[in-house]
Chain A
Amino acid sequence: MELLSLLIWLPILGGGLVIFVGNERADTARWLSVAISIIIFVMSLSLYTGFDSTTHLMQFVEKASWISQLNINYHIGVDGISMPLIILTTFSTVLVLIAGWEVIQKRTAHYMAAFLMMEGLIIGVFSSLDAILFYAFWEASLIPMLLIIGIWGGDNRVYAAVKFFLYTFLGSVFMLVSLIYMYNKGGSFSILDMHNLSLTATEQTWIFWAFFMAFAVKVPMFPVHTWLPDAHVQAPTGGSVILAAIMLKMGGYGFFRFSLPITPDASLQFSDVVISLSLIAIVYIGFVALVQRDMKKLIAYSSISHMGFVTLGVFALFLAYRPGSAEGALLGLEGAMVQMISHGFISAAMFLVVGVLYDRLHSREISTYGGVINSMPKFTGFAVLFAMANAGLPGTSGFVGEFMVILGAVQANIWYAVLAATTLIVGAAYTLWMVKRVFWGPITNPAVETLNDINGREFFVLATLALAVLIMGLYPQPVIEVMHASIDHLLNQALTSKL
């Protein structure tokens, strides 16, 4: 097996092995799964080191016949768009498994196994070059998440889990129909062939909206975002982290891989709609986040608002593009990618911060806390750093993506940029206000006084994320560099009419 296949199947098989170890031998299961995830992470780094950033062509390609009857192949490969997301996946999984170490006492082996299997499936999503293979991974990744929310979640977990599953399932079946439609037209399920398939305006419209249903639910965009706060609040910390850090990116990735290149004309035609929805998400959902009393809900809404930048950056390209100068459009697209990765770090960190508090006092309510800094100074340091990153402070990764997208949006329409920029204020408001109420001020709840500061394991996880946030914030160049050729190519595809 080649590297990419190993990255997909090793975690899945490893997950099976961990199930076999059993819940009774929890410690073995923990060590084994963390070891597997670290091996996978290290292996995934060779995707980066072996990556040729001068070409937009797929690399690490593997192709084998799978369902010959319908010309479906096991066809995988990565380019500059998917490669960073795969590394983000392997990175986050390691942290999540370590973060769940002693927190998860109920069915530990199954918990660890679910995350490992999900890791493999999500890497499969990001590396599939065959539409049906993509769809299979896309749907299959719902199963572990369904179980994670449903088994290890909070009191209202059943509702949240089922809602999560049905919402995403409903979104994606329309994608399946349009994929089949394109197969019947072009005779191939290869995503790359679909990029070149000529489609009429009507066909593009339908396919665009079918894709939109699938990806917008996943991102999630306003108004189909309602599953996310429920899912996040009920999910265990690890589930929230993976959901926010990786699963939402599957939606953004879909826009990059499917919507823009396959339906460029429809994307152009409906870019206003998408941009409007993105701006609503950025501004309105930002205000919604302001009034939350539940920390996880607040971060969930903040996630929706930040993901609005991704869709904004993607669809602003049509307006930002000037003949002869693609700079604005490129900034938007690359900003969207950077925003996805940065959000992967920051949202993961924010959920872990809430998780640390929740593990101690079993409350997510902001009002339970106050003056946490007095008993947990080290922890507060990290929390404030991540809060600043969430608010988009320059020097953190949160700033880079948002700034690039706003710059791109300026080229498109100054008012888009102005509206999007308000998030820097609203975002700062809801994040810092939460920090103020939770960490500063006098201690109102006597339980807070007895809190223990973070232990070595928590310190390690938060410190790793802090490093990632800072490195991305101060020197994002390596990440932008690897994606540049692919983004450039994507821009060409998006701007070339198929009519």
Chain B
Amino acid sequence: MMNTFQFDTASLLVALPEIFLLSAIVVVLLLDLFLTKGFKQVTYYLTQASLLITGVLSYSLIGHPETIIFGNSFVLDDMASVFKVFMMGSAMVAMVYSRHYLTQHDLFRGEYFILVLLSILGMMVMVSGYSLLTLYLGLEILSLSLYTLIAIARNRSGAIEAALKYFVLGAIASGLLLYGMSMIYGISGSLNIVDIAAFSSDANLGSRETLIINFGLVFLVIGIAFKLGAVPFHMWVPDVYQGSPTSVTMFISTVPKIAAVAMLVRLLVDGLGSMHAYWSDLFMILALLSIALGSVVALMQTNIKRMLAYSTISHIGFIMLGFVTGVITGYGAAVFYILVYVLMSLAAFGVIILLNKKGFEAEKISDYKGLSKHSPWFALMMLVVMLSMAGVPPFIGFYSKFFILQQVISAGFVTVAVIAVIFAVISAYYYLQIIKSMYFNDAEQEITVTAPIDMKLVLSINATLILVVGLFPDFWMKLALSLF
């Protein structure tokens, strides 16, 4: 079958959000060059506007019939559109928080926003990529932007280390992924997910072909696990989280995870769904290890960013459990979880950034001592986030765990569910440590919140959503399930 690239308006329309964002990046980049120091805020507002418009464009494409364009290498379906809307929304929130951090730490530069926009473009390509090549391209756009983004705080001790670590390990992961892709390409003869799916689900697939696909599959899984930060490919996560400027940590821990899950869905569910029996075992091991290690090692952390890194690892474990089930509702549960996770993670880092001041980062758990006295409202917000992450109802974090557990038990893995809940209880201990610092300990120093009003407002809405969506989770669950 010949792949033909058609550049007519109809097919371009399908990629409109990406095209718009790319043009916007170029405009912002050029404009930023000519902005004098006093007008740098313009870049910020333009970034927000670009994100908003891209989000609106993606939103308008929800409900568009599934279309595959550019020679079967780019797909538009509801999952792509919904993910993009969520990515834009969370990126906008992240930018609001970032601005406060950047101004406090003299990092406010146009490059920051341009790199963020570029990485988002990469993520959008990942979400919509429907051939191995596009997926890989998207991943590399994302990764290269992130490496640079971390290093933007070049005076910060640890940032360069984090960037290098992320770069080296990320490159290895990309290499492994690419190797796996080449295997799949070699045996199936096509880069397109559609063709690969058709090839691998062929009932007459020979044992030689199966073997080679499985061989490639292992590398694909490793590459994805690297990107997601699942144990044992998690080593970069704590260091990168701790070393990066907090606003970058927040960004890395939220939006790209959506894209990584999307890539996972494209490669393993859409492409190699018929090989589920093979990759689900790998996922089971990765998931359980992640949940266990993420929960236990986090107990010993005194740095909140590092703690949240391990907490992310354990959340990723839960998400992977959703994919183990091999049924549509299980995938839906995983997608629901990732969206919930992003919401919670944004709010958690939002509070951390909120407490930042010139020359001070609220990085140690002990920095939160007595917060409830000095800023009861934001202490309450942090309480909500921490309890939600621990999986305590009525907050949204409970329903995401519950939904995953329900699917896991439904698939017959009752023991796995029991192990998962035991570690969930263990992990509750370190979330309680933060609550303890905020509420039960007296302040060692005066805590003042200097953040601008927009940041406070967005953060409040962000954290309140954790409760509100928790009280009415029906819509979100349905949305997550409708994507498959």
Residues of A within 8 A of B (CB): 65-70, 110, 132, 135-137, 139-140, 142-143, 146-147, 150-151, 157-158, 161-162, 165-166, 169-170, 173-174, 176-177, 180-181, 183-184
Contacts and interface: CB of A to CB of B under 8 A. Distances in A.
Given A67-B473, A69-B474, A69-B481, A169 B394 contact: no
Interface stretch (B107-115, B129-137, B416-424): B416-424
Contacts of A176: 402, 405, 421
Nearest to A142: B392
Interface in B281-337: none
B392 A183 contact: no
A180 B474 CA distance: 17
A142 B390 CA distance: 13
A173 B436 contact: no
A163 B69 CA distance: 57
Contacts, number: 88
B59 interface: no
A69 B439 CA distance: 37
Interface of B: 372, 376, 387, 392-394, 398-399, 402-403, 405-406, 409-410, 414, 417-418, 421-422, 424-425, 428-429, 432, 435-436, 439-441, 473-474, 477-478, 481
A10 B193 CA distance: 54
A147 B439 contact: yes
Most chain B C-beta atoms within 10 Å of own C-beta, residue among A68, A142, A150: A150
A162 B432 contact: yes
Contact of B422 (A143, A161, A173, A181): A173
Contacts of B478: 68-69
A66 B474 contact: yes
A67 B421 contact: no
A146 B429 CA distance: 13
Contact of B405 (A69, A151, A157, A180): A180
A247 to B, nearest CB: 16
A140 B393 contact: yes
Given A136-B398, A143-B392, A166-B429, A177 B474 contact: no
A228 to B, nearest CB: 19
Given A68-B474, A157-B440, A177 B394 contact: no
Nearest to A210: B418
A170 B295 CA distance: 14
A151 B428 contact: no
Contact of A169 (B403, B428, B474, B481): B428
A162 B429 contact: yes
Given A150-B440, A158-B440, A181-B414, A135 B393 contact: yes
Contacts of B421: 173-174, 176-177
B59 to A, nearest CB: 23
A70 B474 CA distance: 9
B425 A181 contact: no
B157 to A, nearest CB: 33
Contacts of B402: 132, 176, 180
A413 B391 CA distance: 44
Contacts of B429: 162, 166
Contacts of A183: 406
Query: What secondary structure prevails in chain B residues at the interface with A?
Result: helix
B378 to A, nearest CB: 14
B423 to A, nearest CB: 10
Given A176-B405, A183-B406, A69 B477 contact: yes
Given A69-B477, A135-B393, A150-B440, A184 B425 contact: no
A202 to B, nearest CB: 12
A162 B406 CA distance: 28
21 contacts: A67-B399, A68-B478, A69-B474, A69-B477, A69-B481, A136-B394, A140-B392, A150-B435, A151-B372, A151-B440, A157-B440, A158-B436, A161-B436, A162-B429, A162-B432, A176-B402, A176-B421, A177-B405, A177-B417, A180-B410, A183-B406
Query: What secondary structure prevails in chain A residues at the interface with B?
Result: helix
Given A174-B418, A174-B421, A177-B421, A184 B439 contact: no
Contact of B425 (A65, A67, A142, A173): A173
Contacts of B372: 151
Contact of B387 (A70, A110, A143): A143
B440 A161 contact: yes
B425 A169 contact: yes
Given A150-B439, A162-B436, A183-B406, A139 B393 contact: yes
Contacts of A135: 393
A184 B403 CA distance: 12
B425 A166 contact: yes
Given A132-B402, A146-B435, A162-B436, 6 more contacts: A135-B393, A140-B392, A151-B440, A169-B392, A170-B422, A173-B421
Given A67-B473, A162-B436, A170 B393 contact: no
B22 to A, nearest CB: 37
Contacts of A170: 422, 425
Nearest to B403: A70
A5 B474 CA distance: 20
Nearest to B417: A177
Contacts of A69: 474, 477-478, 481
A448 B428 CA distance: 44
A321 B414 CA distance: 35
B426 to A, nearest CB: 9
A96 to B, nearest CB: 20
A166 B427 CA distance: 10
Contacts of A140: 392-394
B385 to A, nearest CB: 13
A137 B398 CA distance: 12
B439 to A, nearest CB: 6
A22 to B, nearest CB: 9
A415 B394 CA distance: 46
Contacts of B406: 70, 180, 183-184
Contacts of A143: 387, 392
A30 to B, nearest CB: 18
Contacts of B436: 150, 158, 161-162
Contacts of B387: 143
Cβ-closest 5 pairs across A and B: A136-B393, A173-B421, A150-B440, A170-B425, A69-B477
A26 to B, nearest CB: 15
B84 to A, nearest CB: 23
A70 B407 CA distance: 11
B410 to A, nearest CB: 5
Contacts of A70: 403, 406, 477
A236 to B, nearest CB: 13
A67 B424 contact: no
A181 B409 contact: yes
Contacts of A132: 402
Contacts of A157: 440
Contact of B428 (A68, A110, A147, A165): A165
A146 B440 CA distance: 10
A184 B398 CA distance: 19
A173 B392 contact: no
Contacts of A146: 432, 435
Contacts of B477: 67, 69-70
Nearest to B480: A69
B474 A67 contact: yes
Nearest to B429: A166
Contacts of A139: 392-393, 398
Nearest to B436: A158
A137 B410 CA distance: 24
Nearest to B390: A169
Contacts of B441: 158
A195 B409 CA distance: 20
B373 to A, nearest CB: 8
Most chain A C-beta atoms within 10 Å of own C-beta, residue among B376, B393, B428, B481: B393
